[in-house]
């Protein structure tokens, strides 16, 4: 289930990363960090906490990462 979500995030990250963005005289590159979580027991509040934890794992790793809550291998860089 989360594999499709991760694939969608990876695709979005690639599309955003390839967009030509110019501000004044500077070319900018945008990166995407994302946290993904499955709906855990504990309701919506726990879902948001889990996704937030995965997001901060992605941000701590380095730029352009997608992490899935509860997976050790989830912070591997996307191709």
Domains of the chain in sequence order? 2-70 (3.30.70.270)
**pTM: predicted TM-score of the whole model, two decimal places:** 0.67
Q: Give tens-digit pLDDT for 36-71.
A: 888 767 788 888 999 999 999 888 887 788 888 876
33: tokens are: 């960090």
Residue 54 near residue 68 (C-beta atoms within 8 A): yes
Res. 12: pLDDT tops 90: no
CA nearest neighbour of 74 among 65, 25, 62, 56: 65
Kindly indicate the confidence band of residue 27, based on its pLDDT and cuts at 50, 70 and 90. very high
Instruction: Express as a percent the part of the chain with pLDDT over 90.
Output: 18
- When pLDDT is averaged across residues 17-45 and rounded to a whole number, the result is 86
The predicted pLDDT at position 71 comes to 67
Those residues whose C-beta lies under 8 Å from the C-beta of residue 55, and which sit 6 or more positions away, are: 33, 34, 35, 67
52-60 own/partner pairs: CB under 8 Å, 24+ apart? 58/33, 58/34, 59/33
């Amino acid at each position: 289930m989360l594999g499709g979500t991760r694939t969608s995030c990876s695709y979005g990250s690639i599309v955003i990363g390839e967009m030509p963005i110019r501000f004044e005289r500077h070319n900018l590159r945008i990166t995407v960090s994302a946290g993904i979580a499955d709906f855990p027991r504990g309701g919506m509040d726990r879902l948001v906490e889990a996704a937030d934890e995965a997001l901060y794992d992605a941000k701590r790793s380095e730029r352009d990462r997608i992490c899935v809550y509860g997976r050790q291998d989830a912070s591997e860089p996307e191709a």
